[in-house]
């Protein structure tokens, strides 16, 4: 079987995936493969299904038709393997979603001790290592409510990284941030990309996309309308809808 040998290097493959919310056809005939170590930026107008697409990859949403294969395992109703996949896929949300009743350090150690069964000491060492990496080790004893948005988002990234994921998903990680905090988060994401992490980012930060993305995917009305390398996509979009979208976000 050809698919099996390919599974080694495929991080994600989606074959003719369809999804509905009630009667609303939110994802339409999605075909997409993402290789190990590839960095993909997903963009498109509001409501086009970008969030839904990446939420399907970590099974926060169910799809109704088609096959989604993540790290060689098919996502279906089998609960045991779903939990296993979720551990390998990190997700960073627009609203950070840190646990407000735990310190930064506890946010980072919780899943390590419960899911990875690490000792508390070991988990704390790993957490501090990643907090260093996102450049806020000094905040480890604070609560999320005491941090700025940019700091919270970096903690959220560190929290995901502590689980040693093979794929990182980002859903508009900078769009809830004040402008002066965007770059501190993007810097962390760039260095993560440089280390070879497989990344799928929903973002409209074009500078980031040009710098790290291997591929840009443009979605509209639940479809993948265009995929290309970032320079071709941003400089010479082929599709009418991509052109319109780019002209709109470039107006500012």
Is residue 228 a contact residue for Mg ion (CB under 5 A)?
no
Dihedral sign from CA coordinates of 120, 125, 128, 129: negative
**Strand partners of residue 216:** 41, 228
Is residue 63 a contact residue for ligand ATP (CB under 6 A)?
no
Nearer to Mg ion, 51 or 152 (CB): 51
CB-based burial label for 247 (10 Å; 0-12, 13-18, 19+): exposed
Determine which residue in the list 47, 100, 196, 207 makes contact with ligand ATP, applying CB under 6 A.
47
**Strand partners of residue 65:** 18
Determine which residue in the list 46, 77, 79, 180 makes contact with ligand ATP, applying CB under 6 A.
46
Nearer to ligand ATP, 26 or 40 (CB): 26
Q: State both tokens at 97.
A: 């979603």
- Whose structure tokens read 């493959």? 13
Is residue 248 a contact residue for another protein (CB under 8 A)?
no
* Strand 223-228 versus strand 215-220 pairing type: antiparallel
- Whose structure tokens read 């290789």? 35
Give the Cα separation of 159 and 195 in Å (integer): 17
Determine which residue in the list 62, 65, 78, 83 makes contact with another protein, applying CB under 8 A.
83
Is residue 207 a contact residue for another protein (CB under 8 A)?
no
Contact criterion met (CB below 8 Å) for 150 and 177: yes
Residues 33-72 that bind Mg ion (CB under 5 A): 51
Is residue 109 a contact residue for Mg ion (CB under 5 A)?
no
Select from ligand ATP, another protein, Mg ion, none the partner in contact with residue 115, using the beta carbon and a kind-dependent cut-off of 5 to 8 Å.
Answer: another protein
Give contact residues for ligand ATP (rule: CB under 6 A).
21, 24, 26, 44, 46-52
Binding site for another protein (CB under 8 A): 58-60, 83-84, 86-87, 89-91, 93, 95, 97-101, 110-111, 114-115, 143, 145-146, 156, 159-160, 163
């Amino acid at each position: 079987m050809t698919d099996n040998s390919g599974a080694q290097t495929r991080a994600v493959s989606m074959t003719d995936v369809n999804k509905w919310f009630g009667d609303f056809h939110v994802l339409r005939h999605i075909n997409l493969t993402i290789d190990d170590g590839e960095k993909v930026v997903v963009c498109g107008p509001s409501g086009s299904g970008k969030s839904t697409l990446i939420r399907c990859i970590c099974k926060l949403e169910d799809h109704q038709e088609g096959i989604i294969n993540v790290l060689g395992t098919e996502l279906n109703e089998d609960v045991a393997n779903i939990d296993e996949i979720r551990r390998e896929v990190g997700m960073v949300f627009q609203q950070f979603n840190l646990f407000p009743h735990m310190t930064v350090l506890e946010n980072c150690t919780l899943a390590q001790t419960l899911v990875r069964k690490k000792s508390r000491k070991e988990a704390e060492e790993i957490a501090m290592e990643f907090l260093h990496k996102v450049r806020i080790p000094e905040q480890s004893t604070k609560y999320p409510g005491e941090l700025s948005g940019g700091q919270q988002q970096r903690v959220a990234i560190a929290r995901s990284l502590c689980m040693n994921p093979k794929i990182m998903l980002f859903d508009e990680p900078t769009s809830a941030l004040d402008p002066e905090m965007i770059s501190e988060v993007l810097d962390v994401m760039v260095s993560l990309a440089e280390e070879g992490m497989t990344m799928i980012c929903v973002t409209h930060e074009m500078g980031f996309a040009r710098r790290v993305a291997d591929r840009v995917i443009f979605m509209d009305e639940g479809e993948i309308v265009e995929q290309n390398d970032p320079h071709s996509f941003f400089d010479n979009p082929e599709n009418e809808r991509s052109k319109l979208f780019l002209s709109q976000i470039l107006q500012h």
